[in-house]
Amino acid sequence: MAGMLRFNMLFTLLLCFLVLAAQEKIHSGFLRVFCIVLLIFASIFCDWALLAPVFTLLFAWAENSRLRKHVAFGVAAVLYGGMAWLSSMRTLGAVGALPDALGCAMPILVSGFFILYLYSGQRAAQHRGFYKWFFYAFYPGHLLVLGLLRVALLG
């Protein structure tokens, strides 16, 4: 879609925050649903269109229930894999698009495994400062590395 305005992930995260705020602050059922649907459709102009706000609602629904978290990760994997499959199906055909769909669903399932089975939910007892600064540096650091690789490979 040439010429279409696209917003980055920060705008998507803002919309996700507004979805949660609407869910919490708007007491009228109809108005709450209307605002949330409007915010979800506003994400069409952002990265992770439709998926990020829906995932936000899904994981907010899961909150403190282990069973619901399992369901949320499963539904998220099916939604993301399904959208990848639909997108790739036009050029690769239904069967040819399956590896692409599975490739998109797998990271969600793997992250679900790590979060549900290997993460205790407790802050680190030792080395808090290291972990804090490591993760603060990791996100911009990995983007820098990816950017440098792109420049090196594509010129």
pLDDT tens figures, 115-136: 888 877 777 677 777 777 887 8
Cβ contacts of 119 within 8 Å, gap of 6 or more: none
CB-CB contact of 109 with 73 (8 Å): yes
Cβ contacts of 88 within 8 Å, gap of 6 or more: 96, 97, 100, 101
- pTM, two decimals, is 0.72
CB-CB contact of 76 with 108 (8 Å): yes
- Where are the chain's structural domains? 1-49
pLDDT digits (tens, 9 = 90+) for 7-56: 888 899 999 999 999 999 999 889 999 999 999 999 999 888 889 999 99
Residue 7, classed as helix, strand or coil, is strand
| Whole-angstrom distance, CA of residue 11 vs CA of residue 13 | 5
